[in-house]
Amino acid sequence: MTASRFGTFRKAIVRPPGPGFEKGITSSRLGPPDLAKAQEQHEAYCRALERCGVEVIRLEADACFPDSTFVEDVAVLTPRNAILARPGAESRLGEVAGIRGELARHFTSVRAIEDPGTLDGGDICEAGEVVFIGVSRRTNEEGARQLAAILEEEGLTPIPVDIRASKQLLHLKSGIACLDAGVLALVPELAARPEFAGFQVVPVDPEEEYAANCVRVNDRILLADGFPRFLAAIRERRYEPIVLDVSEFRKMDGGLSCISLRF
């Protein structure tokens, strides 16, 4: 999750992939990523954010942590707080220290998820006053409980969504995106769940599930290249898309939301 009001952002923190990117955690069978191509794709993503009116804050690549380009996982940003996450993969715990100082420059309140809680930012989806919290292979019940308590202090409504039984979804935002007030893009296994009752659903075709990880940024929607049916659905609803190639990030289980912290 990142601090927003239906996708209204002024700034974004990014970190390009660095040497060793191919050593990160992945369950995909798409082969190893090409670092040079990934860096080109990352820069194109940054330019797209700038086209949307966002100031991009570029951190240096961190060769010590191959997954560190996925900055969304290490923090949850709300209008009042920067909340340091506690990644569910032990190899990623060290990434949190690398983002703390930058967040402190922008937020007067920096809080943290504490042990034994684990939480990845990719499991958090803001939908206005409602915040969906995925309980997953990376975010446990205690991490979700700690975050929910902070969100409730801000007057937000946290709703847990247990996806631990899913064979497809690593994070909740692997299958959901908030496109607008009351409008969600959802993959089939989430579309009928009671947690999302009352929302208008833009369905994502079963053969295009990766496309669900799109991002509303101000008046545009960033979405992955190669998914024509979802692109058509976005255009039918009069959203303005920016289509981006993120093939090398997909090889590392990453998507468009994962590679920036927007606020």
Catalytic residue IDs: 171, 258
Given a contact cutoff of 8 angstroms between Cβ atoms, the answer to whether 14 and 222 are in contact is no
Q: Would strands 157-162 and 130-135 be described as parallel, antiparallel, or unpaired?
A: parallel
Q: Which residues contact 31 (CB under 8 A, 6 or more apart)?
A: 251
Buried b (16+ CB within 10 A) or exposed e, 65-101: bbbbbbbbbbbbbbebbbbbbbbbeeebbebbebbee
Q: Which of 202, 244, 205, 213 is nearest to 125 (CA)?
A: 213
Q: Which of 45, 35, 44, 42 is nearest to 16 (CA)?
A: 42
Give the sign of the dihedral formed by CA 11, CA 17, CA 21, CA 26.
positive
Nearest-angstrom CA–CA distance, 231 and 139: 30
